[in-house]
Amino acid sequence: MGVLDVFLQSSSSVSLLGLVAVLLLVYLISSNNFSSLGEGRVPPGPRPLPVLGNLLQIDLKRPYNTLLKLSKKYGSVFTVYLGPQKVVVLAGYETLKEALINYADEFGDRFEIPIIKEEQNGHGVLWSNGDSWRDMRPFALTNLRDFGMGKKACEDKIIEECGYLVEVFKGFKGEPFDTTQLMNYSVSNIICSIVYGSRFEYSDTKFRSMVDKTNRKVQLVGSPSIQMYNMFPWICQWVRNRSEITKINTFIKKENLAIFNHLKETLNPQLCRGLIDAFLVRKQSLEDSGITNSHFHDENLMVIIQNLFVAGTETTATTVRWGLLLMAKYPKIQDQVQEEIIRVIGSRQVQIEDRKSLPFTDAVIHETQRLANIVPMALPHRTSKDVTFQGFFIKKGTVVYPLLTSVLYDESEWEKPLSFHPAHFLDKDGKFVKRDAFMPFSAGRRICLGESLARMELFIFFTTLLQRFRFTPPPGVSEDELDLTPRVGFTLNPSPHKLCAVPLM
């Protein structure tokens, strides 16, 4: 979709556009947004046009590809203007590691994009900053752990959920089907058990709608028209995708409120069922001790729940689906995975402990995450103070994109950056090797909060499914025809496709 199409989607007239453009220009010049006077060398980049910045050079369907190309020309720290918004892009393993780890504080704030800001208003974990984030992140982390993350209890939940999924997959009797919804429901149930204290049936229409709509929202947030809205909120406020997002937000909030109210009514402080109960208990005890201005308020709870739901469902389910697609596309690699699983595990239930005895399978999962690159630009960061980094001056409050794609595909780190090559994670004896540039969860202060849960889920889901089924393209479709081009969206999903899951046992 071209820039013009997006404008035309909105009902503003061309003359109004012209007026707004002039006003913006005056604003930008007066607010000094396009210049950086006297404070030191600024990161280089393509010359921006007034108001539009470098917009005409950016592929809005796949902005991460444009940024990757620009990094080849301008180096590992460069400036680009997304409309009037100045963004410093960090590229390549060495640069991201240095910025996110050695300068963790300086690069550790979050930039809340307009479409999210109007909904979440600085609450929750994903998009928050300052004291609120400092209270909410440890709270979320501690409770994810208390309710199972990284522990046996959680492993059991994942195994149980996988069992339900296997039964539904079996029901297709080897006929082709789209794995998206089932994978999403199954993975979502893990985070639901931790957060709400219970799982849902895959046939539960409210649950299905919550999951489907949340995923639709993730796709819409990455659409060209919403990126345009984020750059020019005044002009693009009428774009269709924005009203769809607003409707989804209203629906999800309503459903969550109903769940909260039920949990509140049945709360037993001695027996917390999940993270929501723990939040309510903490809120009550703070209020009991006379603290009424803490960050433990209903708005924060509402946003945290939604953050965990979206981050805990979409990402992991999408990665498993990439894994299945890659197995169907590369049957020889699937043979090796299945040979290893049958030799080491046989037909018994796979457990987390088995990971170390399944180096090839583990390498395939890691390579899937690397190549799938599902969060290509991480989430936008922002500098928390002025910083001089690699000789460049970057002002406090500058938006920063850690370009994870450039690390996962870094030519100086990976032997075959653009191929599916599980040997990236194996030594010459076939033992699993960790690689520093494996950074799909990002790094530093804002590193993914659910990493250990995600890793456990990926291992159990992928290995169990490969133990039980042979994945193939639908009849009449060759392996070569399976398309690895990702769909447009904030996270990178496989393009719509069907697979056959042929039962093995």
Interaction mask 371-390, ligand HEM, x per CB under 6 A: ---xx--xx-----------
- The reply to whether 448 sits in an annotated binding site is yes
Q: Nearer to ligand HEM by C-beta: 114 or 474?
A: 114
- Using CA atoms, how far apart are residues 256 and 5, in angstroms rounded to an integer? 35
Q: Nearer to ligand HEM by C-beta: 449 or 466?
A: 449
- Using CA atoms, how far apart are residues 8 and 344, in angstroms rounded to an integer? 59
Q: Nearer to ligand HEM by C-beta: 112 or 277?
A: 112
In the complex, least distance from residue 144 CB atom to ligand HEM, rounded to whole angstroms: 6
Please tell me whether residue 193 binds ligand HEM under the rule CB under 6 A: no
Please tell me whether residue 52 binds ligand HEM under the rule CB under 6 A: no
Please tell me whether residue 403 binds ligand HEM under the rule CB under 6 A: no
Classified as helix, coil or strand, 400 is: strand
Query: Residue from 144, 228, 352, 465 that binds ligand HEM (CB under 6 A)?
Result: 144
Of residues 63-122, those binding ligand HEM (CB under 6 A)? 110
Q: Shortest CA distance to 214 belongs to which of 311, 110, 113?
A: 311
Query: Would you state the structure tokens that stand for residue 266, as one six-digit string?
Result: 């049945």
Of residues 267-326, those binding ligand HEM (CB under 6 A)? 307-308, 311-312, 315-316, 319
In the complex, least distance from residue 335 CB atom to ligand HEM, rounded to whole angstroms: 25
Query: Residue from 77, 96, 113, 125 that binds ligand HEM (CB under 6 A)?
Result: 125
Interaction mask 452-471, ligand HEM, x per CB under 6 A: -xx-----------------
Q: Nearer to ligand HEM by C-beta: 225 or 373?
A: 373
Q: Nearer to ligand HEM by C-beta: 133 or 232?
A: 133
In sequence order, what are the beta bridge partners of 37?
Answer: none
In the complex, least distance from residue 370 CB atom to ligand HEM, rounded to whole angstroms: 11
- Using CA atoms, how far apart are residues 493 and 498, in angstroms rounded to an integer? 13
- Using CA atoms, how far apart are residues 369 and 37, in angstroms rounded to an integer? 42
* CA distance between the termini of the chain: 46
- Using CA atoms, how far apart are residues 304 and 113, in angstroms rounded to an integer? 17
In the complex, least distance from residue 5 CB atom to ligand HEM, rounded to whole angstroms: 30
Let me know if 168 is exposed, middle or buried by CB neighbors in 10 A (0-12, 13-18, 19+): middle
Residues 99 and 389: beta-carbon distance below 8 Å: yes
- DSSP 8-state symbol, 364: H
Query: Residue from 193, 442, 464, 493 that binds ligand HEM (CB under 6 A)?
Result: 442
- DSSP 8-state symbol, 432: B
Write down the H helix ranges in 382-428. 404-408
* Amino acid identity at 76: S
Query: Would you state the structure tokens that stand for residue 37, as one six-digit string?
Result: 């006077």
Annotated binding site for heme: 448
Please give the residue ranges that form the binding site for ligand HEM (CB under 6 A): 110, 125-126, 137, 144, 191, 307-308, 311-312, 315-316, 319, 374-375, 378-379, 402, 440-442, 446-450, 453-454
**Binding site as annotated, residues:** 448
